[in-house]
Amino acid sequence: MPGADAAAGAAAAVPIACDALVIGAGPVGLWQVFQLGLQGIAAEVVDALPVPGGQCIELYPDKPIYDIPGVPVCSGRELVDRLLQQIRPFAPRFHLGQEVARLQPRGDGGFDVATTTGQAFVARTVFIAAGVGAFQPRQLQADGAAALPSDDLFYRLPPDGALAGRQVLVVGGEDAAVQAAVRLADAPASAAPATITLLHRRATLSADADLLARLQAHIDGGRVQFQVGQVLSVHTAGGPARLAGVQVADGDGQTRSLPADALLVQLGISPKLGPISQWGLAMERRQLVVDTARFETSQPGLHAVGDVVTYPGKKKLILCGFHEATLAAFAALARLRPDEPQLLQYTTTSPRLHQRLGVATPAKA
């Protein structure tokens, strides 16, 4: 991950002082970093997810988007990759896998902010780009599951090869679960699990047709077993206790055991607006009320952009979020450097912007 601060949690004791803190690394949060960068403002970025991309990565990484101006079509993943490439000159620091839990205005006009891993920030301006909230994987509700070691119970597909030689039970019946089973089955022999079982509570899976076709090919080839049932409990063996199998109920209420030493739970994700609704900001229908000139919340210096905001005519589209982030960055410059003239400069012609972008200014003809 470019610029990722893997040790953000470990550095918890030292608050990071910054001009701008962006909460949320979805497409709009990433574009916020770009627009701040053009204004010469460096940003720290926090996201609850372990990777940037928000809804584009979590909900539709491989689906096509057709309404990004100048890009006739790209997938959710491609859009995020391009945004990450575009913000690279501004070297934002990412603090991933942690939720912003606390935000408090300071007497000096800035903000004290803290994340769930204990990382603290003292930020002069804050940009809430939290979309529909922090994404949390839906947990497996089965006896004993919560006590399983993190090496045996996964809520995200671990890196290629991490499940090599293991008896993997994938739980779920939608795109993410089918994709995970196919990906594991596609792995070369040296990185492949010993067995792959896909378990869904219904006989019908709900995923893209081409994904289902790829799964069927693996089922026909004996690489993946598909079973219908619901996990009731997990059983463990050894000391320290490791996963040895699961107890499963089928549709008729019959129970049976399935062997497994790794559980990959792909039951979807649910967004939670969580702490943001407790920060005392003006809200309407669980969205932050902002003005449409500065995209500022009811708290000066605290901006909000993207799906998390509401104003007359708001549309939850990436393009609209990009516009909001652009105006919010101009407003932040006025607050952070009030003496600096607010010049509108073009990336085409401005030597100052070229310098910030790290590109050469073309010689005059």
Strand partners, 117: none
Counting contacts by CB under 6 A, is residue 131 touching ligand FAD? yes
Among 55, 167, 179, 230, binds ligand FAD (CB under 6 A): 55
Binding of ligand FAD at residue 327 (CB under 6 A)? no
Asked if 330 is part of the footprint of ligand FAD (rule: CB under 6 A), the reply reads no
What b/e readout covers 58-81, taking b as 16+ CB neighbours within 10 angstroms? bbebeeebeebeeeeebebebbbb
In this structure, what token pair is assigned to residue 101?
A: 């839990």
Site for ligand FAD in 273-312 (CB under 6 A): 274-276, 306-307
Residue nearest to ligand FAD (CB): 131
Q: Which stretch binds ligand FAD (CB under 6 A): 56-64, 152-160, 168-176, 195-203?
A: 56-64
Instruction: CB nearer to ligand FAD: give 92 or 306.
Output: 306
Candidates 84, 126, 130, 184; binder of ligand FAD (CB under 6 A) is 130
Site for ligand FAD in 133-162 (CB under 6 A): 133-135
| Listed residue (290, 5, 281, 291) closest to 121, CA to CA | 5
Nearer to ligand FAD, 29 or 37 (CB): 29
* 217-226: long-range pairs with CB below 8 Å, 24+: 218/181, 218/182, 218/185, 223/185, 223/196, 224/181, 224/182, 224/185, 224/196, 224/197, 224/198, 225/195, 225/196, 225/197, 225/198, 226/197, 226/198, 226/200
Instruction: Pick the closer one to ligand FAD by CB: 100 or 267.
Output: 100
Give the alpha-carbon dihedral of 142, 146, 148, 150, to 10 degrees. 120
The amino acid that residue 113 corresponds to is V
- The single-letter code of the amino acid at 204 is T
| Nearest distance in Å: CB 85, ligand FAD | 17
**Cα gap 258→99, rounded to integer Å:** 35
User: Which residue from 5, 8, 22, 26 is in contact with ligand FAD, where contact means CB under 6 A?
Assistant: 26
By CB under 6 A, residue 25 contacts ligand FAD: yes
Instruction: Say how far apart CA 311 and CA 293 lie, in whole Å.
Output: 11
Q: Does residue 65 touch ligand FAD according to CB under 6 A? A: yes
Q: Does 176 bind ligand FAD (CB under 6 A)?
A: no
| Interface ranges with ligand FAD (CB under 6 A) | 23-29, 46-49, 54-56, 59-60, 65, 67, 99-100, 129-135, 274-276, 306-307, 316-319, 321
